């Protein structure tokens, strides 16, 4: 079993942390990428940290974590194309297309020596970037990631229920469309019901709902589950996630891994495997949570991230930036 031998939750310190805030105290900037506008948060100065979200979230996911690190670092949180406040162009929203937009975004901002902080599909995109641009990445921080041995999955039967049936339905023509395009399944059903251990407030849910107010606007959130590599399909994504895994376990760059119990993409047995087999890794046990761990344990994540960065930079920690009102 994974033992919390590195940066772990300190219940005494946890009592002194601010409440989880629904406020988003950052102004977003925009930049033209491949003919469309991509939105992003850009806070602080110093070494670059790039936060990359997944489905169906945005930079809003990192709102309570950014203040822990923006006092000593330049914290950038991107809204992936088609998500958050970024444009929703008429594209296929496949993994490879997202990768092209993200790579171009990083080049356009001239980001160097990046620390990647990644979650969900942001992990697949971030690890791919790190694998292909190893001289531009200083370290990687991941949570609830797309990573072997959990993914790629050999078959639907290799995935435990109810996830197996869920993925079948999402990838079935018309069934997935009804779930996601008609009923906004990922926001209402996952974020709003099973993906967060606590109850999200109306303000928080409305922030996640805002980019996906129409049937057409939800297309990006439907394509993501159809990109999950199961039984070798889609072949290009299966190859990318497998290559990410091979690189991740062998790469010597510093890694920080957060895991939750029971987790979702990373159940306990997968967390054990990652902790035991990845090189140069620190492990943080978050406690009870499923998938959107940033909504249940943002200050534990922020404090552990700040401490890890201080070690990496060889500098003492500073107090976090001022917290917004809830």
Domains, the chain, in order of start with CATH, read: 11-155+234-313 (3.40.50.1820)
- The pLDDT of residue 160: 86
- The pLDDT of residue 161: 86
- The pLDDT of residue 155: 95
- The pLDDT of residue 318: 58
Catalytic residue from among 53, 68, 98, 291: 291
pLDDT band at 315 (very low <50, low <70, confident <90, very high): confident
pLDDT above 70 for 312: yes
Catalytic residue from among 144, 204, 240, 295: 144
pLDDT above 90 for 311: yes
Identify whether 276 is a catalytic site residue: no
- The pLDDT of residue 16: 61
- The pLDDT of residue 314: 87
Predicted confidence (pLDDT) per residue in 177-234, tens digit: 999 999 999 999 999 999 999 999 999 999 999 999 999 999 999 999 999 999 999 9
- The pLDDT of residue 180: 98
Output 159 or 77, whichever has higher pLDDT: 77
pLDDT above 70 for 4: no
Of the ranges 7-11, 86-90, 155-159, 310-314, the best mean pLDDT one: 86-90
Catalytic residue from among 79, 85, 87, 120: 120
Predicted confidence (pLDDT) per residue in 66-112, tens digit: 999 999 999 999 999 999 999 999 999 999 999 999 999 999 999 99
Identify whether 120 is a catalytic site residue: yes
pLDDT band at 9 (very low <50, low <70, confident <90, very high): very low
Q: What is the mean pLDDT of the chain?
A: 93
Identify whether 119 is a catalytic site residue: no
pLDDT above 60 for 313: yes
Predicted confidence (pLDDT) per residue in 223-264, tens digit: 999 999 999 999 999 999 999 999 999 999 999 999 999 999
CA distance linking residue 186 with residue 175, whole number of Å? 14
pLDDT above 50 for 154: yes
pLDDT above 80 for 6: no
pLDDT band at 43 (very low <50, low <70, confident <90, very high): very high
pLDDT above 80 for 12: no
pLDDT above 80 for 272: yes
């Amino acid at each position: 079993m994974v033992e919390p031998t590195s940066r772990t939750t300190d219940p005494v310190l946890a009592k002194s942390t601010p409440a989880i805030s629904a406020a988003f105290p950052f102004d977003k900037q925009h930049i033209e990428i491949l003919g469309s506008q991509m939105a992003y948060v850009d806070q602080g100065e110093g070494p670059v940290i790039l936060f990359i979200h997944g489905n169906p979230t945005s930079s809003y996911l990192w709102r309570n974590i950014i203040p822990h690190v923006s006092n000593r670092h330049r914290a950038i949180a991107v809204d992936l194309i088609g998500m958050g406040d970024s444009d929703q162009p008429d594209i296929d929203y496949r993994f490879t297309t997202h990768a092209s937009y993200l790579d171009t975004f990083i080049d356009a901002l001239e980001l160097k020596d990046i620390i990647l902080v990644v979650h969900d599909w942001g992990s697949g995109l971030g690890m791919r970037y790190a694998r292909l641009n190893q001289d531009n990445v200083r370290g990687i921080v991941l949570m609830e990631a797309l990573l072997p041995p959990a993914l790629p999955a050999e078959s639907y039967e290799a995935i435990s229920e109810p996830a197996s049936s869920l993925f079948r339905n999402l990838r079935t023509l018309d069934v997935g469309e009804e779930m996601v395009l008609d009923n906004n399944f990922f926001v209402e059903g996952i974020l709003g019901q099973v993906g967060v251990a606590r109850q999200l407030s109306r303000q928080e849910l409305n922030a996640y709902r805002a980019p996906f107010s129409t049937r057409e606007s939800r297309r990006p959130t439907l394509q993501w589950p159809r990109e999950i590599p199961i039984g070798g399909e889609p072949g290009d994504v299966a190859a990318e996630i497998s290559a990410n895994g091979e690189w991740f376990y062998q790469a010597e760059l510093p890694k920080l891994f957060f895991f939750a119990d029971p987790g979702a993409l990373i159940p306990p047995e997968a967390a054990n495997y990652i902790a035991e087999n990845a090189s140069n890794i620190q492990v943080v046990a978050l406690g009870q949570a499923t998938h959107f761990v940033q909504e249940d344990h943002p200050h534990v994540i922020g404090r552990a991230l700040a401490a890890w960065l201080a070690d990496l930079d060889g500098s003492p920690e500073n107090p976090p930036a001022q917290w917004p009102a809830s």
